[in-house]
């Protein structure tokens, strides 16, 4: 297992934190985290990949150890977060990479793929939605209501998602043995979300989430025509993005590999070895060996 470096870069005037590991000349994989966490969610996965791949895992602006300017200083949208991520990867000289996306990382990753499809060697989605099929209505109805009409009638329901209980729920729901999930996860995330002004950052992104949905048809066209290998490894018990969202990738991505695992939204916390096994097998089949930036021919 390789050493993991903890670094920052200035992108668009903002300090972006990222974890980096593995040989610089190996095939690259970029790990994009979800809400309400950070690259911390990949802390145990990165060393399992670093022997064969160049791994980059940034914290989105407003999350983790990246800068968190106030909403008066920065307009938080998924377009803006994707722009910063793209800028970081260009700063690092990455012009070809696989993407691993989860939750918020998905709409950020889809924007990267649509902006520069030639740079994407493979897509891995772990409970990272790209289809209307994936939305669990009981969770998302409050988000849609808030996005359509933000105000005192709709805000309390989504503000509740910032609570410790709600963040803990994201980690343990759907996990057959919740004792496998460390309390450090939700305590860590809650502390960062509770920083002064961070609630307004998160509310801004809740409001903007509905603007991710128009990207889906563009993503589907990219999957049909881009010949990019796809792996969907998904917690089948996720009550945020349901398993239909994983199966849907097989509609558009030829030879999409779909695995439904008996877990929840943050699958790495309870099924790290299972996810890593599927991921390493997939990457081994579709990417060239360490030292090569040329993807192998896709299996047929």
Judge whether 49 and 55 are in contact, CB under 8 Å. Answer: yes
Two structure tokens written together for 151: 């105000």
34 and 102 in contact (C-beta within 8 Å)?
yes
Contact 201, 62 (CB under 8 A): yes
Catalytic residue of the set 173, 265, 271, 278: 265
Phi-psi region for residue 64, left (φ > 0), alpha (ψ -120 to 50) or beta? left
**Cβ contact 121:287 at 8 Å:** yes
- Altogether, the residues listed in the chain come to a count of 300
Burial class, 118, CB count within 10 angstroms (exposed 0-12 / middle 13-18 / buried 19+): exposed
Contact status, residue 88 vs residue 136, Cβ threshold 8 Å: no
91 is catalytic: no
**Using CA atoms, how far apart are residues 220 and 225, in angstroms rounded to an integer?**
9
Q: Closest by alpha carbon to 30, among 83, 86, 75, 71?
A: 86
* CA distance linking residue 76 with residue 60, whole number of Å: 11
CA distance 67 to 244: 35
User: What are 284's two structure tokens?
Assistant: 């081994």
C-beta separation of 210 from 147 below 8 A = yes
Which residues are annotated as catalytic?
265
């Amino acid at each position: 297992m390789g050493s993991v470096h903890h670094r920052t870069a200035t992108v668009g005037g903002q300090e972006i934190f990222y974890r980096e590991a593995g040989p610089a000349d190996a095939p690259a994989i970029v790990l994009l985290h979800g809400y309400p966490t950070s690259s911390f969610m990949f802390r145990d996965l990165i060393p399992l990949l670093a022997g064969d791949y160049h791994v980059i895992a940034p914290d989105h602006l407003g999350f983790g150890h990246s800068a968190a300017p106030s909403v008066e200083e920065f307009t938080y949208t998924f377009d803006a977060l994707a722009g910063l991520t793209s800028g970081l990867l260009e700063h690092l000289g990455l012009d070809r990479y696989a993407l691993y996306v989860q939750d918020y990382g998905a709409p950020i990753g889809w924007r990267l793929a649509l902006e520069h499809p030639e740079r994407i060697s493979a897509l891995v989605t772990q409970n990272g939605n790209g289809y209307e099929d994936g939305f669990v209505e009981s969770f998302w109805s409050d988000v849609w209501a808030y996005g359509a009409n933000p105000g005192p009638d709709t805000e309390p329901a989504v503000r509740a998602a910032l609570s410790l209980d709600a963040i803990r729920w994201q980690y343990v729901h759907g996990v057959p043995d919740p004792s496998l999930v460390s309390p450090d996860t939700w305590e860590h995330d809650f502390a960062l979300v509770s920083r002064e002004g961070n609630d307004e950052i998160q509310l801004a992104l809740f409001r903007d989430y509905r603007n991710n949905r128009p990207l889906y048809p563009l993503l589907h066209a990219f999957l049909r025509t881009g010949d990019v290998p796809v792996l969907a490894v998904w917690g089948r018990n996720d009550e945020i993005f349901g398993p239909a969202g994983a199966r849907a990738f097989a509609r558009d991505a030829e030879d999409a590999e779909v695995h439904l695992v008996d877990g929840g939204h943050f699958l790495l916390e309870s099924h790290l070895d299972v996810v890593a096994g599927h991921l390493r097998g997939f990457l081994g089949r579709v990417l060239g060996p360490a030292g090569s930036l040329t993807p192998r021919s896709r299996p047929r």
